[in-house]
Amino acid sequence: MGGTADVISKMERLPGVHYAVLIPNQRGLDNLFSLLDSTPATPPISDEISIFTAATDAFARANTNSTVDESLARLEPVARQALDKGLRVRGYVSVAVACPYSGKVDFKRVREVSKALMDMGCYEVSLGDTVGQGTPETVSEMISEVTKSVPVEKLAGHFHDTFGTAVANVFTALSHGIRTIDAAVGGLGGCPYSPGATGNVATEDVLYALKDSHYKVAGSQYGNGTLDLDKMVEIGWWISEQLGRESVSRAGRAIRARKMREATAST
């Protein structure tokens, strides 16, 4: 991936944090190995890779110019070599609910692809609603099917917020026993091969929705840690401004507006 080496070799790395590198193919892995060998560091600049495929051939062809089966065959030696090198491997299944090219996805295919990634040695597989068309009902149906072959504790939820249902889908995933949720500060992200798709669910929105629930967020003020929602909002707004956009986090907008109003009132 263009620019990966510059980013991960210059960023600050904190102990106990895994900095995953997205690896699309053998060339990407070879480049990472070269970087690791030429840039010794403690902690290492990366100890994890992310490999990805899709649940439909149409999306896989658009994204990686291959069928799903071809992509799995290409990823298997990548995962094996990474594991042999001592790296963690996480898998992603794109368009796990709906595909922008072929419509509703066969959830049995999602199960098969997820199982294939697990068999490669992935410690976790993230199920991606890449288009953001998922609803609590379809997400529930999809997870129920996938867990016939993959233990729920090995699954993660990845929901884009195109139709405003991402937070509801997060709670659906949690109700099924999934305990890892992918989120992006400020709602960053998107997919160039999914027309109209917005970014991943905003971290701020997930944190706000969970704060009065019976779920505990690891490392947050709502669990036993110190993560601060207000600080997260500030980060989301800052990075959005750096990118020339506005934060799309609903909670972020509300909290920032409240703080601005309080600041004005105090002057």
CATH assignment of 4-201?
3.20.20.70
The secondary element (H helix, E strand) that includes residue 27 is: helix 26-38
List the structure tokens of 21.
Answer: 């590198």
What does the pLDDT read at residue 42? 78
Global confidence as pTM: 0.92
**236 contacts 217 by C-beta, under 8 angstroms:** no
What does the pLDDT read at residue 222? 45
In angstroms, what CA-CA distances link 221 with 4, 20, 156, 169?
Answer: 32, 25, 22, 23
Catalytic residue among 45, 191, 207, 210: 191
The domain segmentation of the chain, as residue ranges, is 4-201
What does the pLDDT read at residue 1? 59
In angstroms, how far is CA 155 from the centroid of its own chain?
A: 12
Phi first, then psi: give them for residue 84, nearest 5 degrees.
Answer: -65, -30
C-alpha to C-alpha distance for 131 and 196, rounded to whole angstroms: 8
Q: Residue 2's pLDDT band (boundaries 50, 70, 90)?
A: low
pLDDT digits (tens, 9 = 90+) for 60-117: 999 999 999 999 999 999 999 999 999 999 999 999 999 999 999 999 999 999 999 9
227 pLDDT more than 90: no
pLDDT digits (tens, 9 = 90+) for 148-204: 999 999 999 999 999 999 999 999 999 999 999 999 999 998 877 667 778 899 999
Q: Residue 265's pLDDT band (boundaries 50, 70, 90)?
A: confident
For the chain, the first-to-last Cα distance in angstroms comes to 48
**126 contacts 157 by C-beta, under 8 angstroms:** yes
Lowest mean pLDDT among 38-47, 139-148, 166-175: 38-47
- Reference 44, options 5, 21, 13; nearest CA is 13
**46 contacts 21 by C-beta, under 8 angstroms:** yes
137 pLDDT more than 70: yes
Q: Give catalytic status of residue 99 as yes or no.
A: no
What does the pLDDT read at residue 219? 64
